[in-house]
Structure 1
């Protein structure tokens, strides 16, 4: 940064300090007082976004066609007429795979922060994560041996 830039910064900082002392803009936590007028742009943004959303939700009801077309309301199945009812049952295996995915996805969310602070947590942190991973591995092997992952 050029020398004139440092001078400008120091002048601005000293001006702010003197201004804040005169106007008593600091509270007991030594944070500057922020007037509520600075939050007006955020309020305007939320009002405009809400109004636009409401307008975009209401316009199709006002100007859209009211005619029902059997082709539009029929379920789409690769360009063919549907073979069966769309509300058919499906296998519980899908739920099992979803639960296993959630469990191992949560494992990864614990692993990333642990990897970042591994040097700070030391010996105890390392072995506590190893116990955690061992428990998850035992659960995974149990699910595998019970056949929960077999699709046959």
Structure 2
């Protein structure tokens, strides 16, 4: 295989990836180390797969496997299922879930500000700016919460 077929290489220089597959000796001092840099990544992937797959395989191979009709029946939170699994849910479940995610993410934006609040208080130039910036953010959060409350989105009945 000719290295001139690879775009971006010189006529006498073989790319490191091609050398690895063709078992050629490295003519470039850094060429042999190119694939060695990926060894920790490959090792990390292999260990991750082993940690994830090995317990499942060991449990399957070493654990008891005695299925019976009672074990194979479906259940819902310890009760026998009484309706079809694909029944329709009330839209309020989804509305409450979306509102929770919305307000939870907004509160998560407080963490970066809280981590630098001491630095903001120590710097005279941005002390009031940092305070007012968070005051505006919390104000918008409260306005949104009041709006949702007044619209009745938090009422369950």
TM over 0.5: yes
Q: What is the TM-score with the length of structure 2 in the denominator?
A: 0.55
Counterparts of residues 1-152 of structure 1 (less than 5 Å): 43-51=42-50, 53-54=52-53, 70-118=69-117, 119=121, 120=123, 121-152=126-157
**1:86 Cα deviation (Å)?**
1.9
The structural deviation recorded for 1:42 is 6.3
Return closer, same or farther for 1:88/1:73 CA change in 2, 3 Å cut-off.
farther
For residue 109 of structure 2, give the secondary structure of its aligned residue in structure 1.
helix
Change (3 A) 1:73 1:88: farther
Q: CA deviation at 1:103?
A: 1.9
Asked whether the equivalents of residues 96 and 148 of structure 1 are also in contact (C-alpha less than 8 Å), the reply is yes
1:110 Cα deviation from its structure 2 partner? 1.6
Alpha-carbon distance between aligned partners in 1 of 2:71 and 2:130, rounded to the nearest angstrom: 58
Point out where structure 2 has 5 or more consecutive residues left out of the alignment: 1-34
RMSD, aligned α-carbons? 3.8
CA distance in 2: counterparts of 1:101 and 1:53, whole angstroms: 32
Work out the CA distance in 2 between the residues paired with 1:117 and 1:48: 37
Find the residue that maps to 2:103 and give its secondary structure.
helix
| Deviation (angstroms), 1:147 | 0.6
Task: Give yes or no for contact 1:75–1:86 (8 Å, CA) kept in 2.
Answer: no
**TM-score, length of structure 1 as denominator length:** 0.56
d(CA) in 1 for partners of 2:104, 2:40: 39
Larger helix proportion of the pair: 1
Closer/same/farther in 2, CA of residues 115 and 50 from structure 1, 3 Å limit: closer
Q: 1:66 to 1:112 in 2, by over 3 A?
A: closer
